[in-house]
Structure 1
């Protein structure tokens, strides 16, 4: 079974998480046969390892991590690879892959342009 982990930064203010919860709900509504879990780098739960563990417990043998970051800053260049390698060691039979940061995708950038244009 394949699954998705939507990976965000995290924040002290619990309300910051609300768009991530809506994103996960949209995923579930549109792709009900592919489980999705949120994960956060810091200040919020679950951690990446906890999210992956829950997917493995549910039967996943392949997990795709989608970094919900605007770009490849220090967290994705430095912290994320360490976390990813630790998860690969902890779950050796699991296929783990990752996408680029969502903000690097042309369709995402175009959606922001379209959103901005609607404000005019």
Structure 2
């Protein structure tokens, strides 16, 4: 299993657990597309699992390659400061594990196009 990726969807979190529904739906879609991968949301605050709990779960399943996907529209303090602060002790504790942090989802042109298309559809301008 160590060759298969562990994909962690890192999101902010909220007190209302319903907030996580889009993140959980994204995780489910990725699990269907990547059946050999471990796909797990992780939350900065309020919701479980935390980033360290998600990494521990991936490592317990034998994964040694962790890809973090920030489920954020843009890069701000949470991705510039909080994520590196949370990731540093994990990298130190698991030097044999490869941690890759991808750009925030909102930085993808495809994601921006999808958001714009959705807004245009919602306001009736995409017809």
Q: Tell me the TM-score range normalised by the shorter chain.
A: over 0.9
**Aligned with 1:11 (options 9, 14, 21):** 14
Tell me the C-alpha RMSD between the 2 structures: 0.8
Q: Could you tell me how far apart the structure 2 residues matched to 1:60 and 1:74 are?
A: 29
1:66 Cα offset (Å): 0.2
* Aligned residue pairs, count: 120
Q: Could you tell me how far apart the structure 1 residues matched to 2:31 and 2:65 are?
A: 17
1:116 Cα offset (Å): 1.2
**Aligned with 1:62 (options 46, 65, 71):** 65
Q: Could you tell me how far apart the structure 1 residues matched to 2:76 and 2:56 are?
A: 26
Q: Which secondary structure does the structure 2 equivalent of 1:86 belong to?
A: helix
For normalisation by structure 2, the TM-score amounts to: 0.91
Q: Does 1:29 align with 2:44?
A: no
Moved over 3 A (4+): none
After superposition, where does 1:1-120 map in structure 2 within 5 Å?
Answer: 1=3, 2-119=5-122, 120=124
- Based on CA coordinates, which of the two structures has the bigger radius of gyration? 2
For normalisation by structure 1, the TM-score amounts to: 0.96
**Unaligned stretches of 5+ residues in structure 2:** none
Q: Could you tell me how far apart the structure 2 residues matched to 1:23 and 1:52 are?
A: 18
Deviations 1:8-42 (A, max 9, x none): 00100011011111111111111111110110001
